[in-house]
Amino acid sequence: MNLLEDSWLPFLLRNGKVEYRPPSALADPDVINLALPRADFQGAAYQFLIGLLQTALPPKTHDDWLDWLMEPPSVAALDKAFAPFSSAFELDGDGPRFMQDLDPLDDVKNATVSGLLIDAPGANGIKNNTDFFVKRGRVEGMCDTCAAIALYTMQINGPAGGAGIRVGLRGGGPLTTLVMPESSDASLWERLWLNVVTQQEATQKGQQWTTPDPEEPSLFFWMANTRVSDKKGTEVLPEDTHPLHAYWSMPRRFRLLFEEADECPCDICGRKNQRVVRELRAKKQGANYDGPWLHPLTPYRRDPNKPNELPLSSKGQPGGLGYRHWSGFVLNDEESSGAIAAAALKSYIDKQKLVTQERAHGEDIQALLRQARLWVFGYDMDNMKPRGWYSIEMPLVEIPQGQQEKLRAWVQQLTELSRNIAWMVRTQVKNAWFSRPSDAKGDMSAIDNQLYDATEPEFFKVLLALQQVLQQDLPPPHIPPDIAERWYFALKREAMRVFEDLALSGSQESMDLERATAARRQLHSFLGGKSKGSKVVSNFIQQGDFDPYGKAKRNAASAATTTGDA
């Protein structure tokens, strides 16, 4: 199977149907999305097609990029652009195979094809019978389509796998951030092209841009002998590769073993196929990526006080993704917090400025570039064990040049307040539950997450309100009082609700009302900024210049005073 010529990708059409077509079908205006059978396959297929566009149609400038956005190529034109790279995308055969070792690896034992799935139980899990939730034997055979995308998913995520098994270019289990159109019926071309960057933006320090060539082994490692990493000094650095290699990284050594079958159903997609993969060969000591890699689709972080340390890719963590991570994904801040937004997102913001300055592109293009969202997805890995898969969409806001620093400071205030209140809610729930809360063991982060989940819609409404404020000619130095008050009361309301739902739940026999009442009183005092440790709350109230007890409370207090005087 050739991954550029054969109909192997499932595309979602406007009429709701799913059709398998070659990658060039992404240029069909009736194609609005992909329809892969697994969430991690869906994310990987997006990255595959973005990498393909980046390789076959690399825009030289932002104007070139805008030209393609305004007038997308036809399916035939895209087929023609992909054709020169066909030899590098053969999945089977005697020559180079897509993302597989050039060596047939005859000296290693065959393994089951389920080893391509990141969430499949490993050898130790099977040996120790610890595959409680994700059972062994779920996937014993894959069609060539699922095998291809599973191979690509494993290579670009590259989780840890033990001694000698190399992690990916971005580190094991990285997060990916993609810019998505706001419109649900936007074409797939728009969804993908918004994440393509210019040649200069794709080139890291020490790299030299050259026209992509299918036979170039520094671009496609599988076109040459493996860069074996069994000795020191064999690390793969950015300057050793083509600028676009980040899209085609290959840390693992695999060979898929294809079999002819009689209408064998795939254990993943269910489609019957005459080509099946039941086994593969895998070997250690593949490409060992090192150095200051910055993948164009992944956010990073570095310590501003330690400029010589390598940047670390953002990864999924227990508790999921939410608004408290928004700033680190969106607002580039290398000097202060060390947050490095993905190059594709920074490029999108630069294109927004370009369209704003040059009105000739028309209102439709301006709307497309202004009305977009951020899609964040990836595994939460505990070394080589996946704890979960996360996928979330967040709003993007248009901020005038020069106001991003102010937005960053304001968002930090909002999220710092929510973190402090979440911590206090968890503390007081434990005080209500346990006579000796400091001795209570176990992960209590689910309490924090309840508050974060409940306040997420309000946070993004507040964020859009801040956008309007920062678009004014002379925005104020602090968060406006009405917006600060709105966020504070949303947190306060949900904090009390979460506490009462948890602390006062359960049977009357097991509940200690005295403890629960005392804990509620302490939480209420903290939320008013009047208890020990509530400095973040009191500072937010003071700077916001609002009454923490609300208008209704003030009116009630005034009425009580009047009644007393009478």
What integer is the mean pLDDT of 256-278?
92
DSSP letter at 243 equals G
pLDDT for 368: 54
Enumerate residues 6+ apart whose C-beta is below 8 A from 60: 198, 199
* 410 burial type by CB count under 10 A (0-12 exposed, 13-18 middle, 19+ buried): buried
Residues 250 and 366 in one domain: yes
Structure tokens at 465: 């309100």
Binning pLDDT at 50, 70 and 90, where does residue 218 land?
very high
Whether 394 is covered by a domain: the verdict is: no
Binning pLDDT at 50, 70 and 90, where does residue 558 land?
very low
Residues 364 and 416 in one domain: no
Binning pLDDT at 50, 70 and 90, where does residue 566 land?
very low
Full residue range of the structural domain in which residue 46 is found: 9-379
Residues 272 and 411 in one domain: no
Euclidean distance between CA atoms 112 and 130, whole angstroms = 18
454 has a pLDDT exceeding 50: yes
Kind and range of the H or E element at 326? helix 326-330
Q: Which of 275-299 are b and which e, b meaning 16 or more Cβ less than 10 Å from the residue's Cβ?
A: bbbbbbbbbbbbbbbeebbbbbbbb
What DSSP line would sit under 114-152, residue for residue? GGG-TTS--HHHHHTT--SSS-TTS-S-EEHHHHHHHHH
Closest Cα to residue 313, out of 335, 287, 343?
Answer: 343
Torsion 426-503-388-41 (CA) sign = negative
Residues 418 and 346 in one domain: no
141 has a pLDDT exceeding 70: yes
Binning pLDDT at 50, 70 and 90, where does residue 357 land?
low
What integer is the mean pLDDT of 334-355?
86
pLDDT tens-place string over residues 494-510? 999 999 999 877 555 56
What integer is the mean pLDDT of 378-397?
91
pLDDT for 130: 43
Residues 285 and 204 in one domain: yes
What integer is the mean pLDDT of 83-92?
97
Residues 352 and 432 in one domain: no
Q: What is the mean pLDDT of the chain?
A: 89
Residues 345 and 212 in one domain: yes
pLDDT for 365: 54
Enumerate residues 6+ apart whose C-beta is below 8 A from 215: 87, 88, 223
359 has a pLDDT exceeding 90: no
pLDDT for 262: 82
Binning pLDDT at 50, 70 and 90, where does residue 556 land?
very low
Share of the chain above pLDDT 70, in %: 90
What integer is the mean pLDDT of 56-68?
94
Residues 305 and 421 in one domain: no
Residues 135 and 261 in one domain: yes
Give backbone dihedrals phi and psi of 177, rounded to 5 degrees, phi first.
Answer: -120, 125
Euclidean distance between CA atoms 153 and 118, whole angstroms = 8
Maximum CA pair distance of the chain?
99
The domain total for the chain is 2
Whether 313 is covered by a domain: the verdict is: yes
What integer is the mean pLDDT of 543-564?
57
270 has a pLDDT exceeding 90: yes
Whether 524 is covered by a domain: the verdict is: yes
Residues 243 and 316 in one domain: yes
Q: Of 361, 379, 397, which residue constitutes the final position of a domain? A: 379
Kind and range of the H or E element at 366? helix 363-370
Q: Residue 214 — left, alpha, or beta (φ > 0 → left; ψ -120 to 50 → alpha)?
A: alpha
Q: Beta 372-382 vs 385-395: how paired, if at all?
A: antiparallel
Evaluate whether 277 touches 92 at the Cβ level (below 8 Å): no
pLDDT for 559: 39
Binning pLDDT at 50, 70 and 90, where does residue 451 land?
very high
Whether 256 is covered by a domain: the verdict is: yes
pLDDT tens-place string over residues 393-438? 999 988 777 788 899 999 999 999 999 999 999 999 999 998 888 8
What integer is the mean pLDDT of 365-373?
66
Whether 520 is covered by a domain: the verdict is: yes
pLDDT for 509: 53
76 has a pLDDT exceeding 90: yes
Kind and range of the H or E element at 18? strand 18-21
Whether 532 is covered by a domain: the verdict is: yes
Residues 225 and 148 in one domain: yes
Whether 328 is covered by a domain: the verdict is: yes
Whether 516 is covered by a domain: the verdict is: yes
Between 392 and 549, residue with greater pLDDT: 392
Residues 16 and 100 in one domain: yes
Q: What is the pTM of this model?
A: 0.91
